[in-house]
Amino acid sequence: MQGTDTAPIELFDPDFVRDPHPILARLRNEQPVREVLLPRGLKVWLVTRYEDVRAVLAAPSVSKNVRVAQELFERHNTNPEARRMFSDALSAHMLNSDPPDHTRLRRLVGKAFTARRIEELRPRIEEITEGLLGAMAGKDEVDLLDAFAFPLPITVICELLGVPQEDRDDFRTWSNTLLSGSRDIEMVSGAATAMAEYLTKLIADKRANPGDDMVTALVQARDEGDRLDENELVAMLFLLLVAGHETTVNLIGNGVLALLRHPDQLAALRADPSLLHGAIEEFLRYDGPVQLATFRFTTQPLAVGGTVIPEGEFLLVSLSSANRDPEKFAEPDRLDVTRPSGGHVAFGHGIHYCLGAPLARLEGEIAIGRLLSRFPELRLAAEPEELTWRVSTIIRGLETLPISPGRPA
């Protein structure tokens, strides 16, 4: 039922990348807590059941402190090159911190991301959405990710933070590389350096020319006292920018794909747009943008799912697996836009629960709602089997999503 198995789980295997669910179902049944070897030689414990995933994410003895991680990594890892993966300037952010640092960092931006503050962005998000959909009208075929699902959230987060729009393609390249889980250490650390240099320059610009934006507010918080240091400032911007767009693009992409592959669900949603709110939760559960929560480390032995994980070990929890656990969700492999929503862990759980969840939900709802009403004939322009999924341990998303918009309404 548990423990080490020498049979590798290939998280990069093309079959797993295309459809991880058969393997995840087997793990939930047979080895819900087991060790796996990652490509860079790192041994981690993979947790796949819903209850266990929630328990790990909420356990106070489970740390996210990046300094603890680095020590552990060096102890575990035989490849000296791989150590460089942890030592970049982008690490000192809330998702790599435990309380009290986590509490302090999250509080600095928390107010800007409440559901009420985010609702104020609705008119602007609608305007950006309409502009992008307008540009798609009349085309025979477009890549929905490139034309719509990517530009929408990056435009919103760049405007919120005060990052010049023209820099967004650079961001896309760097953050794709950083989240790819690539084995090419040169490439990954090159992208991290480029990102850190860019953000340092942006901070200097805002110091010289303050604006009415979040980067300026954070620079002022930095300069007014000891609330965050320069490294933390760079890392905060990095986290907000990457988390702010890498995920929502795939809520839109995976959600639209799920609908186009399930015409009955699409018809139900078109017939009753009031289902949209719950449908977004179902897309998050069924094929959420984040497959694995980021690394955690045990600071004490941890009993989970009948296994005791010793102190000083790395943990990965599978959010995709938890969201398809039949112990929690009836007929979990069925897409059902009328399913009573709630309980999924697509935004994580515990103190690191996604700060941007209200923004992601609003963007997803406006984007998918407007897309469906603008294009009643919307259809896939490729066979589902031909679609390519991104090879990434963290992100679940397509490389491209070719669609034919059809005549606009």
Task: Please give the residue ranges that form the binding site for ligand HEM (CB under 6 A).
Answer: 94-95, 106, 239-240, 243-244, 247-248, 251, 288-290, 293-294, 319, 346-348, 352, 354-356, 359-360
Distance of closest approach, residue 95 Cβ to ligand HEM, in angstroms: 4
Q: Which is nearer to ligand HEM, 259 or 359 (CB)?
A: 359
Compute the chain's Rg from CA coordinates: 21
Residues 356, 347: Cα–Cα separation, whole Å? 9
Q: What is the DSSP string of 7-45?
A: SPP-TT-HHHHH--HHHHHHHHHH-SEEEEE-TTS-EEE
Which residue lies nearer to ligand HEM by CB, 112 or 381?
112
* Comparison of 368 and 380: residue with beta carbon closer to ligand HEM: 368
Tell the smallest beta-carbon distance from residue 243 to ligand HEM (Å).
Answer: 3
Shortest spacing between CB 27 and ligand HEM, in angstroms: 19
Cα 97 to Cα 15, 62, 115, 280: the distances in Å are 34, 11, 24, 30
CA 160 to chain centre: 19
Which lies closer to ligand HEM via its Cβ, residue 350 or residue 406?
A: 350
How would you classify residue 203: left for phi > 0, otherwise alpha for psi between -120 and 50, otherwise beta? alpha
> Nearest distance from residue 30's CB to ligand HEM, in Å?
25
How far from each other are the two terminal CA atoms of the chain, in whole angstroms? 55
CB of 129 to ligand HEM, least distance (A): 15
CB of residue 64 vs ligand HEM: minimum separation in angstroms?
7
When the beta carbons of 112 and 382 are compared against ligand HEM, the nearer one is: 112
Nearer to ligand HEM, 229 or 377 (CB): 229
Q: Are 380 and 403 in contact (CB under 8 A)?
A: yes
Residue closest to ligand HEM when measured from CB atoms: 356
The strand pairing partners of 317, in sequence order, are 47
DSSP 241: H
Query: At closest approach, how far in Å is the CB of 79 from ligand HEM?
Result: 24
CA–CA dist 342, 278 (Å, integer): 9
The owner of tokens 């609702």 is: 119
Query: Which of 337, 179, 318 is closest to 250 using CA atoms?
Result: 179
Between 222 and 245, CB nearer to ligand HEM = 245
